[in-house]
Structure 1
Amino acid sequence: MAPPTAQTAISTPLVHKPTEYLTHAKIEELSELHIFLLVREGFALKDVQAMIALSELYLSSKLIERITGKLGRTKQGKGVESTTGRLSSLQSAIAFQYAKVLEHATTVFGALQLAEEWLAKPCRRFDDNTPLDLAGNPVGFQVVENYLERVELGIYQ
């Protein structure tokens, strides 16, 4: 799938990159080990919610439920917020994958709106799955990241 074709998308600059909401630092300043340690500790739920709030797509796809594996409301009427204030290491790794994909796609396509359009659109390269659906799985995340790297280099096949 080639990059989105809308050339006039409004580019509202993000105050913070998606990964910065989770790590509280610029990703370029962190080693992979430091990121691993932050993920293992578990991201604060409020930071994950702030990252998700950056994207209309992430909000409308109920990404918090994809990350936590829980519905927004339980039978007792308690929301996801009623869980511990931190995500598990596995949930944090998934949240980080979604943050990285959104960040990378925004860089590649030049605007958040174009990145969201691409993430939500089924792609023949991904067997008609959406990049968003792939991003929640470690192997799928790598497939999407590799594809974005190829787009950055101008290789669309």
Structure 2
Amino acid sequence: MDQSSAASSRSSNVAANPMQVLLNERVDPDDPLAVYRLIEVGLAPEDVLRLVDAVELLKDKAVLAKVIGMTERTLRHRAKAQRMALTSDQSSKVMRFAEILSKAEEVLGSREAAERWLVKPLFGFEGRTPLDLLCNSFGERMLEDLLTRIEFGVYQ
């Protein structure tokens, strides 16, 4: 890849929301069945690495391990090994992270604000961070609900 296309790729990742970065136009993020099928077969390590490159928070080894359950080094090794897809469970975790980060970015106004919010303990959730709550679908639903309430100014 030459310098201009590398720079273009980086700038398009900055402008795109995390879901768009992760899916890379392979499927429509608004098509739940297409996203389900992609998760079922497993995300390619390259897709996740593109997200890691675009999201500053994922450069923290502990955060990456919590989100995916593996290190960046393992991801890069899998990418070099060609077609060693993530498991559906790992893919689902990454997708949950990208969805919530995209929604938080939209509601809070910037990627930086969304990333700070993800690691800030929340009083209403016994001091857990949004990142902690992403460990399962129930936590994700609570975060979606919270972000919707923030978006519309309803805090109770």
Q: What range is the shorter-chain TM-score in?
A: 0.7 to 0.9
Percent sequence identity over matched residues? 30
The 5-angstrom pairing of residues 25-104 of structure 1 reads 25=25, 30-71=30-71, 79-83=74-78, 85-104=84-103
Aligned 8 A contact 1:70 1:80 in 2: yes
Q: Which residue of 1 aligns with 2:153?
A: 154
Deviations, residues 82-131 of structure 1 (Å, cap 9, x unaligned): 34631111111110000011111010000111111111110011110001
Q: Which residue of 1 aligns with 2:8?
A: none
| Structure 1 residue 69, shift from structure 2 partner | 2.3
Aligned length: 140
> Which has a greater percent of helix?
2
TM-score, scaled relative to structure 2 = 0.78
The answer to whether residue 112 in structure 2 is matched with residue 145 in structure 1 is: no
- CA 1:54 to 1:72, structure 2 compared with 1: closer, same or farther past 3 Å? closer
Secondary structure of the 1:35 match is: helix
Aligned 8 A contact 1:121 1:130 in 2: yes
TM-score, scaled relative to structure 1 = 0.77
Give me the CA root mean square deviation. 2.3
Higher RCO (C-alpha under 8 Å, 6+ residues apart): 1
Aligned 8 A contact 2:118 2:130 in 1: yes
- CA 1:115 to 1:103, structure 2 compared with 1: closer, same or farther past 3 Å? same
Unmatched 5+ stretches in structure 2: 1-12
| Structure 1 residue 30, shift from structure 2 partner | 3.8
State the distance in 2 between where 1:59 and 1:140 align.
Answer: 23
Q: Which residue of 2 aligns with 1:116?
A: 115
State the distance in 2 between where 1:89 and 1:127 align.
Answer: 30
- CA 1:68 to 1:56, structure 2 compared with 1: closer, same or farther past 3 Å? closer
Aligned 8 A contact 2:43 2:86 in 1: yes
Partner amino acid, structure 1, of 2:97:
Y
